[in-house]
Amino acid sequence: MQRLLTLGLLGLAACSDSSPPPDPPAAVAQPQSVAAKPEPTKSDWSKKFRSSYVETNKKDAADGTADFTACFNQTTQCELFAFGQRDAFRDLTTFEPAGSRLNRNGNPKYVHSYVSVIDCQAPSILLEAKFFSKGSWIFLKQLAVMVDGDVLLKHDISFDSVKRDSDSYGIT
């Protein structure tokens, strides 16, 4: 399920504001290059971004944030439901898959995840392994991501690169 959300958002490219770049100083020689495809404006990027999901149940808060539900890859029914939040001050939108939110309410072992997208930037994915048990520990040695049967990412994790929180109720 997470893959639909991630793949749907990965197609977004960087954008620029609508103002043209400043002219370079006259003394700098211009290199010969192939004409580059212009970056989309922030408005173009926002339209493409918002077309990647269907937004419902939007509730605006007085602090510049808005909570909503998002449906990705909707055909006759919603194939991927996520909880979304837009922070207008930080130009940030986050999506938490429904399964991730449900797991944190009662499941002792799960991977919490969310996708955050800063306007005009590629999405970032946070994965946080949770393990709640008295007298046990969790170690992560490797992370692998598989999409449609193909391993797209395999990353070894060194012991000291993982941030751990140990509380009386478990390990994060």
95-152 confidence digits (pLDDT tens): 999 888 887 776 777 788 899 999 999 899 888 877 777 667 777 788 888 888 999 8
The pTM for the full model equals: 0.68
Taking only the tens place, the pLDDT of each residue in 38-82 is 777 889 999 999 999 999 999 999 899 999 999 987 777 888 889
**pLDDT for residue 7:** 42
The residue type of 115 is: V
- Tokens 């055909």 — which residue? 75
The stretches of the chain forming alpha helices (DSSP H) are 2-10, 42-50, 98-103
Which is more confident, 27 or 95? 95
**CA neighbor of 14 nearest in space, from 120, 164, 154:** 120
**pLDDT for residue 144:** 86
**pLDDT for residue 92:** 96
In angstroms, rounded to a whole number, what is the distance separating the alpha carbons of residues 145 and 91? 28
**pLDDT for residue 169:** 67
